[in-house]
Amino acid sequence: MRTLDLVEILKSPPDRVSADGRALFWLPAPFNSGELWIGHFKGTGPWTRHVGGDALMHQLSGRAEVTLRAADGEHVATMIPGQVLRVPAGTWYRVHTADWAAQYGVTTAGTEHAEGDAAP
């Protein structure tokens, strides 16, 4: 068993950076078949889904709007620091922030991304 110090992790270079530099991700540890991640980002991300299981995200700083595409249409969850959101397995979602925000969470294997304004 080991603990993770998120503050120390964020002092190291990110593991992934988007082409435009507006999304930085640290991947400090595997979690079951997926990974624990920490993200610092601004703007609108790609449509994403995790087919291997539910995803969990916790808002650390800033404000984020998470749009989920469900069978009955799109739903928007506004997240502020301290809030947690569970995204059901296979549900397409995208995150939008007007200013820099940070989240951490866990995802499963089988992540898919789709670019563009409309969800697949």
Query: Domain of 48?
Result: 6-109
Q: Is residue 50 part of a domain?
A: yes
Please report whether residue 1 resides in a domain.
Answer: no
Question: Looking at residue 8, what DSSP letter applies?
Answer: H
Structural domain includes residue 120:
no
Task: Please give the tally of structural domains in the chain.
Answer: 1
Kindly report, residue by residue over 72-117, the tens digit of the pLDDT: 999 999 999 999 999 999 999 999 999 999 999 999 988 998 977 7
Rounded to whole angstroms, how far apart are CA atoms 68 and 110? Answer: 18
Is residue 119 included in any domain, yes or no? Answer: no
* Angle made by CA atoms 57, 62, 72, in degrees to the nearest 5: 50
Residue in the block written with tokens 């995204």: 87
* Confidence at 40, pLDDT banded by 50, 70, 90: very high
Q: Is 21 left (phi over 0), alpha (psi -120 to 50) or beta?
A: left
* Confidence band for 119, pLDDT divided at 50, 70 and 90: low
Mean pLDDT of 24-28: 97
Cα(69)–Cα(4) distance, rounded to whole angstroms?
Answer: 32
| In-domain check, residue 92 | yes
Mean pLDDT over the full length of the chain:
94
pLDDT of residue 116: 78
Q: What whole-number distance in Å separates Cα of residue 80 and Cα of residue 3?
A: 25
CATH code (residue 87): 2.60.120.10
Closest listed residue to residue 91, CA positions, set 39, 40, 56, 43? 56
Q: How confident is the model at residue 66 (pLDDT cuts 50, 70, 90)?
A: very high
Question: What pTM did the predictor assign?
Answer: 0.91
Largest CA distance in the chain: 42
